[in-house]
Every structure is written in C-alpha cells, then in structure tokens.
Amino acid sequence: MPLNPVDRSRHGTRHSRDLQLNPLFSREPVTVPRHALPDGAMDPDTAYQLVHDELMLDGNARLNLATFVSTWAEPQAQRLMAECADKNMIDKDEYPQTAELETRCVHMLARLWHAPDPDRVMGCSTTGSSEAAMLAGLALKRRWQHRRRAAGKPVDRPNLVMGVNVQICWEKFADYFEVEPRYVPMDGDRYHLTPETAVGLCDENTIGVVAVLGSTFDGSYEPVAEIAAALDAFEARTGLDVPVHVDGASGAMIAPFVDPALEWDFRVPRVASINTSGHKYGLVMPGVGWALWRDADALPDDLVFHVNYLGGDMPTFALNFSRPGAQVVAQYYTFLRLGFDGYRRVQQTCRDVATRLAARIAELGPFELITDGGQAPVFAFRIREGVGTYSVYDVSAALRERGWLVPAYTFPENRTDLEVLRIVVRNGFGHDLADLLLDDLRRVLARLERQPGPQRDADDAGGFAHGAETKDPRRPGRR
C-alpha cells in the first residue's frame, strides 16, 4: 500500500483512462498508461513534454507565501548544483572536495554562531532542519542516558520540553524515538515558550528544552537566553543539568545578520546544539540543513560513525544515507557569493518588506496583526471582531484564485479559537510583489464583503500550513 493513498472521498474516483498526447507534437506512442510502466521506451522530448505539461498545474513557487523554503537561486548556483547532482554526499572518500566544502560550511556556521572554540564544534549537513532536529534530539537523549546510567538510574522515561508551537518534526522525533513530548500550551496572548513555563515542566527525566528562533505559527523568537538563565537557576536548586537546543530553522540565518546583539547562540553556555535550514534563510534551493554541537561532549561519540577519508578518519552522523552533494556545494557558493554583508542586506530587505507589508495590511481595517514581521520576516494576522461576512479561509481561497498561496489555520492547544493568515517573506519577494499582493487583497475584500456570511471553514484550508500544525498527545498530527 502506498504511503499516500488517494483520498477518494475528497477527490472522487481517480482517472482510469490513459494519458493522451497532443497529435501536433507527439511521436509514438500516442497513449501512455497512467499508473503502470509503459511497455517500451519513448522519445525523450515526448516524455519531457508530457511531464512538463502536467506540472503546469502546480502553483507558482515565487507566489507561495506559505513556504519558508527558498524558491529562487542565481543561475551560477543552479549550474553548480547541476554539475554536482551525480555526487553522492555520503561517499566522502570518492568526493573528497565536496566533503571539504561541507566541513568549511560547518566552520563558517560555528563562527557565525559564536562557538567558544570553532575548531572543536561538531557538525554536519542534513537534508533539512527536520533531519537536523532528529539528530539533535538523539544527541540529547543519548547524553541524558549516559549520565543516568553512570548514576545507576533508570533511562526508560525520557521527556523533552518545548512549546506547542514547535514544528511538526519534533512531534515525529518524540514518536519515533520514544521520548515523551511535554508541550507548553499557548495561553492568552502568549504564543510560545517562556522561561517560567519551560522550567515548570522539567524534571530528572528531561533530556533538554527546545527553544525556537522563528516560530512557524507567527515568526516570533523565543527568549533563548532567558530560558537558559531560568534553567541555570533550576540547576542551582535541584542539581539537574538540562541543556537547551535551539531550533533555528529560520532564525539562525536571520538573527546573526540583523540582530547581532541578541544572545541566542553558543554565547549562551547552556545551548548545546543548534539546527538551521540551509534551504530556508540560508538561501539555498531544497534540500539542505545543518546541525552543530558546541563540542564533542555535546555529541556522544557512540552516535557517530567513522569512515575512511583520504586515508584518515571522517566522522559522520546522519539518518539518511545517499543524497546529492549539490545543495551543500550551493550552500558554500552562497556563503562565498554573499559574505556577511550580503546576507545582512538580503535578510534586512526581507524584514523591511515584511514589516511594511504587515503595516499596510493592518491599515486595511478588517485585520489585526498577531506579529509584525520584526523578528523572522514572517507575520500572522487575524480578522477583527465584528467582521462577519468572511473567514480567513475565504480570504485564503480568494487570493489563491490570483495565484497567491497564503495559508489559513488555527493556533494550537488553548488557542484553537484563534484563526489566522500567515505570510512568509523570502528572498525574491520584494516591495513590488508585496504591492501587487496588497492590490489583490483589496480587490478580494471588496467582493468578500458582499457575501451574506463566511463560506469556508478549517476543513477547506488544505494542507499547506508548513509546520503550523496542532498537537494532541492522543491524536498527533494536523487537525
């Protein structure tokens, strides 16, 4: 059975007829089976045209304001990726220079994130932040197990403390690796983790606390330094040493450039590890992520495998095996191409676009901002009380008619009453596109205001909230 079976109740009966080719450009065959291998080969141009035409039904990636993932790259980066598409990242001894570029990226990130001794930082590339988060969680669990066993204590009840706003990969980690997830629910106008709420759920079985730098729900930063300080006080009272992992999928490639005074990284001694997405604000096409640990003590050696690399030792830590080296090469290219000041200019521009767009949307009248794009260049907004002719889901669907993908969803536990729209501003979405979005938003609002009442609800929202899923310990996943 496929992992993604067709939902016939929503989509109706799937097409059973074969695919038909346009006679004007087609060669033999003129029909192609839809769900089975063809009997023989076909001309490559015919196969290309068939796939190309079907993919025209996909949305325009540049207008996708739901995803955090980069949708644009320079031609030179794309050329390098094409040149490296056949290089297997796992084969360090066969592609030693690709491995060297990976190592250089790790050292660059270690310095960017203020590691006390960048040469001792442990790190690796991954397929994205989800894999990086899994690796970081495994390191937290194994480190906790070693301490417990050394003290002669049981290791059968590990837990991980985090806000309910964490990305869905953390729910997967807890489920896959048998760790109790302890979610701090939202409460009133508090939409993420705080020092008091984090410490309140910690005990001797806590393997760590996850602090998010750039919440997928609203783009806000969690107060990493303050959470760490509260855990310092907690250790002074109880003797329990609880490390912090920073999920910087977005913010770890934003804060160093536009919030340099903010202490969230390895400047905070309790931060043991950090992950980020190279393919988000690292400005690389999908998929590459990065996981870094403060030092060898933060990454237990029994999790690391060692391979022969140019006659020496190359430690590896990964869940995936074969994957192309193209994205790692593109990350190194982008680091060289932009440098610190180039990244600063790109991220500041994204923030400027986000804050200006958020302010203009607030000025329209029907909307109330939850965040304003002033941290991660992401903001969420709701419909004001008293507006009764349309819902956020109506607005999302109406914008989609013009090609814009703006997700609408509810917030999680304790604030499921809060329904919002969210806009992610990425490199390539500038002030001009933002103005076009505003024009379209004004047009659809004029039409929606003539409705007798809301026409869509959460069941019509689709599945593109990109990490903003609700969490239920009994029924995990998006609701």
DSSP state string for 430-470: -HHHHHHHHHHHHHHHHHHTTSSS----GGGS-S--TT---
Write phi, then psi, for 275 (nearest 5 degrees): -125, 155
Of 28-42, 105-119, 272-286, where does mean pLDDT reach its minimum?
Answer: 28-42
Average pLDDT in the 177-188 region? Answer: 96
- As given in the structure block, the two tokens for residue 436 are 């076009």
DSSP assignment letter at 59 = P
Q: Is 154 helix (H, G, I), strand (E, B) or coil?
A: coil
Select from 233, 134, 222 the least CA-distant residue to 174: 134
Q: What is the pLDDT, as a whole number, of residue 314?
A: 64
Strand-pairing partners, residue 244, are 209, 271
Q: Under a CB-based contact definition with an 8 Å cutoff, are residues 382 and 420 in contact?
A: yes
pLDDT-derived band at 27, boundaries 50, 70, 90: low
> For 301-331, what is each residue's pLDDT tens digit?
999 887 665 555 666 788 877 888 999 999 9
Whole-number pLDDT of residue 222: 98
Q: What is the DSSP letter of 251?
A: G
Over residues 331-372, the pLDDT tens digits come to 999 999 999 999 999 999 999 999 999 999 999 999 999 999
Average per-residue pLDDT in the chain? 90
Measured between alpha carbons, how far is 23 from 27 in angstroms, rounded to an integer? 8
Identify the residue with better confidence: 447 or 49. 447
Are the C-beta atoms of residues 41 and 29 closer than 8 Å to each other?
Answer: no
Task: With a cut of 60, say whether residue 56 has pLDDT above it.
Answer: yes
User: What integer pLDDT is reported at residue 204 of this predicted model?
Assistant: 98
For residue 10, pLDDT beyond 50: no
Q: Where do the DSSP E strands lie in 51-175? A: 122-126, 159-163
Instruction: Quick: pLDDT tens for 163-173.
Output: 999 999 999 99
Q: Is 7 a residue whose pLDDT tops 70?
A: no
Average pLDDT over residues 74-100: 89
Can you list the domains of the chain with their CATH numbers?
8-58 (no CATH), 78-334 (3.40.640.10), 349-460 (3.90.1150.160)
Give the number of C-alpha atoms closer than 13 A to the C-alpha of residue 264, restricted to the C-beta side: 26
Q: What per-residue confidence (pLDDT) applies to 58?
A: 87
Cα separation of 108 and 125, whole Å?
13
Choice among 12-21, 61-70, 129-138 with the minimum mean pLDDT: 12-21
Examine the pLDDT at 8 and tell me if it is beyond 90: no
User: For residue range 195-239, what is the model confidence (pLDDT) as tens digits?
Assistant: 999 999 999 999 999 999 999 999 999 999 999 999 999 999 999
β-pairing, 180-184 with 159-163?
A: parallel
Do the bridges between strand 305-309 and strand 312-316 make them parallel or antiparallel, or are there none, so unpaired? antiparallel
